[in-house]
Amino acid sequence: MTTHTALSSITFFSDDLKGKEVINKVTSIGLLKDVFADEKSRAAIDQDKLVYEVQAYLPVQEGTLGGLYLGITKIHPGKVADEYFMTRGHFHELSDRAEYYWGIKGEGYLILMDRDRNTRMEKMTEGSLHYIQAHTAHRVVNTGNSILSFGACWPSDAGHDYKEIADHGFSARLMDQNGNPELVVV
């Protein structure tokens, strides 16, 4: 007979992870210098204004082959000029790794960009499921008036390549165009 021992006591409530092993990270507008198209407008916002928060459960060491991580991100509503609040976006360091996102609450879009800089978007709503293919940069944008929360599951050896996006950005941005979110090529 095999006995299984739980690695930890994590509780998953709708859009909250609870447990002593859960990592919590907050990102304010002040930490997002040069992420939004209009840097002057970003700099004029209270630099402590919360844009998004992440809860993550990382049960194995980063780089472990065959391990999985679980996270929940909550993006607050808001804009910098005509650009909606969003996550930084990233490729994976091991770019052949895929990931799942699923909508929990709120509404917004998952922005996807391949290595040829072709960009597209998928609507995120409560219950939507999104498979992010390998070799694809991804970021999430909140287009609603309430918090957009979504879950994520990714390989523990995938890593995050934020530098590529910081250096070159996405080839399109989701902007408010007369009250409607539109993907605008830059």
Torsion region of 169: left, alpha or beta (phi above 0 gives left; psi -120 to 50 gives alpha):
left
Q: Is residue 30 helix, strand or coil?
A: helix
pLDDT value of position 11: 74
User: How many angstroms from the chain centroid is the CA of residue 72?
Assistant: 9
Q: Is residue 77 part of a domain?
A: yes
Q: Is residue 132 part of a domain?
A: yes
CATH number, domain of 89, equals 2.60.120.10
pTM, rounded to two decimals:
0.93
d(CA 28, CA 128): 26
d(CA 148, CA 178): 21
Q: Which two tokens stand for residue 54?
A: 């992440």
- What is the residue range of 21's domain? 11-185
Q: Is residue 3 part of a domain?
A: no
Within 8 A by CB and 6+ apart from 3, the residues are none
Number of folded domains that form the chain? 1
Q: What is the dihedral of CA 113, 131, 124, 69, to 10 degrees?
A: -100
Q: Is residue 1 part of a domain?
A: no
Residue 105 exposed, middle or buried by CB count within 10 Å (0-12, 13-18, 19+): middle
pLDDT value of position 12: 74
Which run of H or E residues covers position 167? Answer: helix 163-168
Q: Is residue 180 part of a domain?
A: yes
pLDDT tens digits along 62-78: 999 999 999 999 999 99
Q: Is residue 129 part of a domain?
A: yes
Q: Specify the DSSP class assigned to residue 90.
A: B
pLDDT value of position 8: 60
Q: Which two tokens stand for residue 158?
A: 């995938």
pLDDT value of position 14: 81
Q: Is residue 5 part of a domain?
A: no
Residues of the chain with pLDDT under 70: 1-9
Q: Is residue 24 part of a domain?
A: yes
